[in-house]
Amino acid sequence: METSKRRAKPELRGYLDLIELTDEQRAEVEGIRRRFLPKVGILRARLRQLRAELADRLFATPLDRRKAKATVVKISRLQLELELEVMEHILQERQLLTGSQRKRFRQIIAEQFSDGGLGIHDVRSGT
């Protein structure tokens, strides 16, 4: 009977996990992530909270359209803030890469964004 050792698939924490990096690049990426991931985690948690609040408002009796619209505005502002944080993060990471790594990075970003969201950094991704 043959036993096969399977490695657990490493947790994907960012797009650069999909690119082979040098040890120096990996260390720099970790520094960037230590600042970025907590900010994004807070924004995503707040967005989930506001969307739950919106769902409650939409089915409240009596319906208060003004409050529901105000919640939508809050969601829009936070979504914009999240998009801008992700953009800055991608630009920071891009600076660390070689030409061929940048080409692959662009492919990954285009693929991740193709469904209209922010890929692994979107609210739908969980954490």
The DSSP result for 77-107, as a single string, is: HHHHHHHHHHHHHHHHHHTT--HHHHHHHHH
pLDDT mean across residues, the chain:
86
Query: In the chain, where are the structural domains located?
Result: 26-116
Q: Is the pLDDT of residue 24 over 60?
A: yes
**pLDDT at 3 (0 to 100):** 44
Choosing among 1.20.120, 1.25.40, 3.90.320, 3.40.30, the CATH entry for 26-116 is: 1.20.120
pLDDT at 41 over 70: yes
pLDDT (tens digit per residue) in 63-109: 999 999 999 999 999 999 999 999 999 999 999 999 999 999 999 89
* pLDDT above 50: residue 6: no
pLDDT number for residue 123: 54
Residue % of the chain over a pLDDT of 70: 82
Structure tokens at 105: 């990075």
pLDDT of residue 113: 82
**Interatomic CA distance for residues 49 and 119, integer angstroms:** 20
Sign of CA dihedral 89, 92, 96, 98: positive
